[in-house]
Amino acid sequence: MTEYIEPEDVDDLVEDEGFHYRDRNGLLSALASPMPVFGEEVYPGIHQKAAVLMSAINHNHPLLDGNKRLSWFVTVAFYEINGYDLRADAEDADHYIRLIAGANPPPPHDVELWLDKHTFPLD
């Protein structure tokens, strides 16, 4: 069973990092995006869920500044609570998140493949 990030946990992260909300409802929408709808899995795989979560945070812009960083932190935490470790060097991660947040983001399947390549089971 998949575990999901709680909004209160992100609120704590936002406060700890000194971020400020522009639209908290945008965050709530992003956090809900990988969840089942009416009991049906829209995104059955862990990497599909993580890809839609990361993309939704970037596209919803819930913060005044720091949306790309928040999307990384939340995606790392999502994987962690589900038994995975997301690992990428800072330059590679920054480059890919900027692509996701850009005007012509990669298709969801490409994001899923990138995440799969950089994710490993926790020991």
Helix count and strand count (H, E) for the chain: 6, 2
* pLDDT, tens only, 65-121: 999 999 999 999 999 999 999 999 999 999 999 999 999 999 999 999 999 999 999
CATH code for the domain defined by 7-121: 1.20.120.1870
Mean pLDDT of the chain: 97
> Exposed (0-12), middle (13-18) or buried (19+): which is 63, by Cβ within 10 Å?
buried
* pLDDT, tens only, 3-60: 999 999 999 999 999 999 999 999 999 999 999 999 999 999 999 999 999 999 999 9
Q: What is the pTM of this model?
A: 0.96
**pLDDT at residue 102, as a whole number:** 96
* pLDDT, tens only, 106-116: 999 999 999 99
**pLDDT at residue 123, as a whole number:** 79
Quote the CA–CA distance of 72 and 15 in Å, as a whole number. 16
**pLDDT at residue 60, as a whole number:** 98
**pLDDT at residue 117, as a whole number:** 98
Going from N- to C-terminal start, the domains of the chain cover 7-121
Type of residue numbered 53: L
